[in-house]
Amino acid sequence: MIRDKFDAIVVGAGPSGNAAAYTMAKQGLKVLQLERGEYPGSKNVQGAILYADALEKIIPDFREDAPLERHVIEQRLWTMDDTSYVGMHYRSDDFNEEKPNRYTIIRAQFDRWFSGKVREAGAVLLCETTVTELLRDPQGRVIGVRTDRDGGTAFADVVILGEGVNGLVGQRSGLRPELKPDTVALAVKEMHFLPREVIESRFNLAGNEGVVIEAMGTITDGMTGTGFIYTNQESISIGIGCIVSDFAESGRTPYGLLEAFKRHPSVRPLLEGSECKEYAAHLIPEGGYNAMPELFGDGWIVVGDAGQFVNAVHREGSNLAMTTGRVAGETVVWLKRRREMATKANLAEYQRRLEETFVMKDLRKYRRIPDFLHRNKHIFGVYPKLLTAAAQTWFRVDGVDKRAKEKQIFQSFRSGRTLPGLIGDALKLARSWR
Amino acid sequence: MSDAPPNAPKPPAAGRAGTKRELPERFKAYRHVWVAIECEHGVVHPVSLELLGEGRKLADKRGVDLAGVVLAGDSLTAAQTAAAAFEHGADLVYTVTAPILAHYRNETYTRAMTDLVNAHQPEILLLGATNLGRDLAGSVATTLQTGLTADCTELAIDDEGSLAATRPTFGGSLLCTILTLNYRPQMATVRPRVMAMPAREPGRWGRIVEHPLDLSEEDVVTKVLRFIADRESDKAQLAYADIVVAGGLGLRSAENFQLVRALAEVLGGDYGGSRPLVQKGWITADRQIGQTGKTIRPKLYIAAGISGAIQHRVGVEGADTIVAINTDPNAPIFDFAHLGVVADAIELLPALTRAFQAHLSVNRLAG
Amino acid sequence: MHIVVCMKQVPDSAQIRVHPVTNTIMRQGVPTIINPYDLFALEEALRLRDRLGGEVTVLTMGPPMAEESLRKALTFGADRAVLLTDRAFAGSDTLATSFALAAALNKISQEFGEPPIVFTGKQTIDGDTAQVGPGIAKRLGLNQLTYVARIADLDPAAGTITVERRAEGGLQVLQTRLPVLITMLEGVNEIRRGSLDDAYRAARAQVVRWSAADAGITELARCGLKGSPTIVKKVFAPQGRAEKVRQVPTADRSADELAIDVIAAIFRTQPPLEDDLLRFAAGQ
């Protein structure tokens, strides 16, 4: 048992746990942080997007020393069938600003850096230490944790659970339900190494400029999911993810999907000659607002993926994680200053504060989307095919007159998806989007 | 504790910069290529003979003699070892014969070897990278304050007459060539089976130079109490097997490793694996094939699901035929394999086992 | 009893990649670990301390970030960590490394008590030379015990130690006098987990940091690149074989059909092999 008593114990050293621990330690609280991985970031999948705003609110000058790969100046959205894609690209020199808005990062490095900041701020981090259960007093209030190390108990006024999507502490302690396969996506990702110059010429980049490609369509073989490609300095992150229950139904493997995605004629040239460095899989909670567990209780708070704080539509997660971690930390500091206990009633302040942020507003706005996508899988199969076929009809010059081509395209949409179907999809999507 | 190794030469006055090209005056007399011949328990270690083959080439290139160095506990062992050295290419053999050398001890062997070097001044000294050789080489190099390159995969004489010792570096991702320009002797160790065994020339003979050892048992602190010989069954024959089947991470699970063993068994060969498998605990360390494991020179080597990092490559390059099975057509193993099959080893291995079984039984009946 | 364990922080070599164009090492995101062979030495030292009392000091030479590995060693239960770090050590070969470590060990003796046993792993996974341990032993006049599989007997009062040493074809049982340098064989023990208290203590411990001057080194010419007799002439990626690999076509072939093709190709490449195999099969 650690004899020192802490103001807070933070479970997990990912973006949410680090944000919470940093916020509290910076304000002079005594913080113990426990991470089950070998080092912060070791359990994280490499290659990701960093949203500057959320981090700026925690560490305003992070750009000075954080390991950032490239700032994103171009976003490509691809709708793909087996041989082609229809793309919407947005590229702007405005993104070459003094304080860029989005960066590609390599999580293992970034998390280490973030963790270094947390420790500089005064928190004590113990790695390779798994929390096995929450300790409660006779009244049921959480007062500490038990770990898998010998003599492994530690006590604190409040425990912040930032243990990630499938962290078992909260589940075992009955704080939140087990994950349901239809609200969790399984994403697999690979890092492919290429020389800097090759990446820059292939993606039309200079300096530290970066591109993000997000892709949907037949690459997920009719399942709810998307693929992505990010440019790092000397590597490309490529991945694909689908809802777990879809994998179970289809019998497809994530690895098989990724292989097919990599072999796609529009993707293969981007990876040509690269060396795959590592392969990793990660679960992403995509249930959204409706799948959210209780976020606080007597002596505990949930932050990050553990609380389903992911905006699946915009592929945002780490910014929600950092923001929930920061707000949780601020709430604990606020209670400490007022010399108030971390009771359930007092910790309700956490949710009140979160409601004021984009986190709850966005998640509430999109609360119907996960369900909509789940029920309308044809969105991922039918439309991409129709769209790419239309593009091909339109752009192929073959002696057919343009009016006939228009007609052909319209016909294909009607036979691919009935007119009422088309209208229905549009209405449903609009309703879910509101 | 003090920092004054016995037998140490005075460090050169100034400018120890290794890039300086001019060999210090006191080293100019250093000539000839030496190979330490291991003969513990009266058995000449094959690696020493392999090194003689390599040493012969270096000596010829330099136009100097090739000498074997024999440290032995009795004169019979010394004579038999010297004979083996001559038959494998040595022009002369230095012997130090004393009962206290019967068993290897760092103290006695380091003393004998450094005395010999200081007296007869070789330009190159090669040792086998066995436990004995590595234990001794580190001590000798430190005592003589000279450069030592371990586990070389290639030895050559460069344009300026220096020993260019090439070895894998950075954990076996690249090769590097290392020189010892301003110090003598230039020392290197080579692992067993890395170099080919030279042809034996029966009856070939040379000059024996005996050297005394001024050391008695009372002066030696370390005593050999016992030697517990390994049972025959404990010795992995992997390094000397004619056919080897090996697996890598492409097997995806420890259970699938039995597919490798099954094929090896049908072929009457031995089996092994790449370094990651040892690190994952799928196979024991004595089954590791590669730079830090066993170097093999079989007639047939089948690598299943092994990507072929340099660390592995240098351990198998001596094989007559390398068959690589890998799902990734860009895997580095296809750079040095003779036959390549882009396929999933998990499916192909059992098929190969079945097909070999069928082929051998049919042809046996026919024959 | 005071025991010192020399360790090295190494890149997790399984993950090192070479830049396909420049042939340089790409360090991006390559995690570092304690050289795995050193963990057997550390565990052996901790066991001796637990049995006989005393302290375990871990020592490493490396860049400032090597502190991580030392801290990890403290988590396993080591009592003290010393980091020898100085730009003067950059580019050290094994001889220069053993020079610096020997100086640091002398300093450790003065500051924290003379260690009757200094441990190292049998070799590192990045250099694989196995030379630094013997180098330290020689410089400090320690009796050298390499590839030790078991410490059979240790009598600090009498100043004697008996070990089983892995040699070619068997185990040597060696008895010698302290102080000694031991390089532990791999697989002889398993590193412990370390209690929560150890982890907490390690997280807050001060790692002792010494520069070359702190370690009492005055002859900088014997350190780093200058003090290294070996020089790296070139680093390069190996060439492929001149003769290209012959790929066995796999298109539209089932595993069993492919197996037959592969066997035929093997025997075409090396006809005598078929006879060898038939002889083996006949002998069964």
Q: Are the beta carbons of C28 and A129 separated by less than 8 Å?
A: no
* Mean per-residue pLDDT, B51-75: 97
Q: How far apart are CA B355 and CA C61, in angstroms?
A: 55
Closest residue of chain C to A146, computed from CA coordinates: C196
> What is residue C48's predicted lDDT score, i.e. its pLDDT?
98
CATH for A184-285, among 1.10.260, 3.30.720, 2.70.98, 3.30.70? Answer: 3.30.70
Burial of A270 (0-12, 13-18, 19+ CB in 10 A): buried
Q: Which of C230, C235, C265 has the CB atom closest to B147's CB atom? A: C230
DSSP state of C123: -
Give the residue carrying structure tokens 């990050």: A304
> What is residue C158's predicted lDDT score, i.e. its pLDDT?
96
In tens, the pLDDT along A359-387 reads 999 999 988 887 887 777 777 878 888 88
Closest residue of chain B to C135, computed from CA coordinates: B142
Annotated binding residue at B284? no
In tens, the pLDDT along B338-361 reads 999 999 999 999 999 999 988 888
Phi/psi zone of residue B31: left (φ > 0), alpha (ψ -120 to 50 degrees), beta?
beta
Q: Which residues of chain C make contact with A121, given a CB cutoff of 8 A?
A: none
- Those chains having 3 or more beta-carbon pairs within 8 angstroms of chain C are A, B
Q: How far apart are CA C141 and CA C109, in angstroms?
A: 14
- Where is average pLDDT lowest: A116-130, A236-250, A416-430, C67-81? A416-430
In tens, the pLDDT along A382-415 reads 888 888 888 888 898 988 898 999 898 888 888 8
DSSP state of A413: H
Task: Give the mean pLDDT of chain A.
Answer: 90
Q: How far apart are CA B78 and CA B85, in angstroms?
A: 10
Nearest chain C Cα distance for residue B311, angstroms: 10
Closest residue of chain C to A35, computed from CA coordinates: C199
Q: Which of B59, B176, B74 is nearest to B125 (CA)?
A: B59
Q: Which of C103, C127, C144 has the CB atom closest to B106's CB atom? A: C144
Q: Are the beta carbons of B180 and C140 separated by less than 8 Å?
A: no
Burial of A341 (0-12, 13-18, 19+ CB in 10 A): middle
> What is residue A173's predicted lDDT score, i.e. its pLDDT?
78
* Mean per-residue pLDDT, A115-138: 95
Task: Give the mean pLDDT of chain B.
Answer: 89
Q: Which of A151, A193, A277 has the CB atom closest to C196's CB atom? A: A151
Q: How far apart are CA C33 and CA A262, in angstroms?
A: 32
C20 and chain A: CB distance < 8 Å anywhere? yes
> What is residue B365's predicted lDDT score, i.e. its pLDDT?
59
> How long is chain A?
434
For domain C2-222, give the CATH number: 3.40.50.620
> What is residue B228's predicted lDDT score, i.e. its pLDDT?
92
Check pLDDT > 80 for residue B250.
yes
Query: What does pTM read for this prediction?
Result: 0.81
Check pLDDT > 80 for residue B50.
yes
Q: Which of C138, C166, C277 has the CB atom closest to B131's CB atom? A: C166
In tens, the pLDDT along B180-199 reads 989 999 999 998 888 999 99
| C-alpha to C-alpha distances, B287 to A356, B124, B273, B276, nearest whole angstrom | 61, 33, 6, 12
Q: Which residues of chain C make contact with A191, given a CB cutoff of 8 A?
A: 29
* Mean per-residue pLDDT, B201-215: 95
Annotated binding residue at B272? no
8 Å CB contact between B340 and C246: yes
Annotated binding residue at B318? no
- Where is average pLDDT lowest: B208-212, B231-235, C45-49? B231-235
Closest residue of chain C to A191, computed from CA coordinates: C29
Q: What is the three-class DSSP state of B222?
A: coil
Q: Which of C216, C217, C135, C150 is nearest to C181 (CA)?
A: C135
Q: Which residues of chain C make contact with A132, given a CB cutoff of 8 A?
A: none
Annotated binding residue at B290? yes
Burial of B216 (0-12, 13-18, 19+ CB in 10 A): exposed
Q: Are the beta carbons of B173 and C17 separated by less than 8 Å?
A: yes
CATH for A5-67+106-177+293-356, among 3.90.650.10, 3.40.50.970, 3.50.50.60, 3.40.190.10? Answer: 3.50.50.60
- Where is average pLDDT lowest: A190-199, B173-182, B235-244? B235-244
Annotated binding residue at B173? no
Q: Which residues of chain C make contact with B168, given a CB cutoff of 8 A?
A: 128
> What is residue A387's predicted lDDT score, i.e. its pLDDT?
87
Q: How far apart are CA B346 and CA B325, in angstroms?
A: 10
Which stretches of chain C score pLDDT less than 50?
A: none
> What is residue A43's predicted lDDT score, i.e. its pLDDT?
65
Supply φ then ψ for residue C44, to 5 degrees. -60, -40
Annotated binding residue at B275? yes
> What is residue C133's predicted lDDT score, i.e. its pLDDT?
96
Q: Which of B175, B225, B267 has the CB atom closest to C236's CB atom? A: B175
* Mean per-residue pLDDT, B253-274: 94
Percent of chain B residues past pLDDT 70, beyond the cut: 91
- Cα-based torsion angle of the residue sequence B166, B169, B172, B174 in order, rounded to the nearest 10 degrees: -80
> What is residue B109's predicted lDDT score, i.e. its pLDDT?
98
Nearest chain B Cα distance for residue C102, angstroms: 7
**Local confidence band at A178 (pLDDT 50, 70, 90 cut-offs):** confident
Q: Are the beta carbons of A154 and C75 separated by less than 8 Å?
A: no
Number of H helices, E strands in chain B: 8, 16
Amino acid sitting at position B259 = L
Q: Which of C17, C19, C200 has the CB atom closest to A126's CB atom? A: C200
C77 and chain A: CB distance < 8 Å anywhere? no
> What is residue A432's predicted lDDT score, i.e. its pLDDT?
73
**Local confidence band at B17 (pLDDT 50, 70, 90 cut-offs):** very low
Tokens found for residue B343:
């396929």
> What is residue B12's predicted lDDT score, i.e. its pLDDT?
43
- Those chains having 3 or more beta-carbon pairs within 8 angstroms of chain A are C
Burial of C51 (0-12, 13-18, 19+ CB in 10 A): exposed
Annotated binding residue at B178? no
- Where is average pLDDT lowest: A260-264, B87-91, B192-196, C2-6? B192-196
Interface test with B, best of C12, C153, C174, C228 (most B CBs within 10 A): C174
Give the residue carrying structure tokens 């890092």: A191
Strands B243-247 and B223-229: unpaired
Interface test with B, best of C2, C8, C13 (most B CBs within 10 A): C13
Tokens found for residue A353:
């504060």
Other C-beta atoms closer than 10 Å to the C-beta of A66 total 19
Domain boundaries, chain C: 2-222, 239-284
Interface test with A, best of C28, C50, C71, C74 (most A CBs within 10 A): C28
What is the CA angle C138-C140-C91, rounded to 5?
A: 75
Q: Which of C28, C31, C196 has the CB atom closest to A129's CB atom? A: C196
* Mean per-residue pLDDT, A202-215: 95
Q: Are the beta carbons of A2 and C203 separated by less than 8 Å?
A: no
> What is residue C273's predicted lDDT score, i.e. its pLDDT?
86
Ordered structural domains, chain B, with CATH: 25-219 (3.40.50.620), 234-366 (3.40.50.1220)
Stretch (H or E) spanning B325: strand B321-326
Q: Which residues of chain C make contact with B224, given a CB cutoff of 8 A?
A: 172-174
Check pLDDT > 90 for residue A55.
yes
Interface test with B, best of C15, C95, C120, C183 (most B CBs within 10 A): C95
Annotated binding residue at B309? yes
A275 and chain C: CB distance < 8 Å anywhere? yes
**Local confidence band at A287 (pLDDT 50, 70, 90 cut-offs):** confident
Largest alpha-carbon pair distance within chain B?
A: 77
A1 and chain C: CB distance < 8 Å anywhere? yes
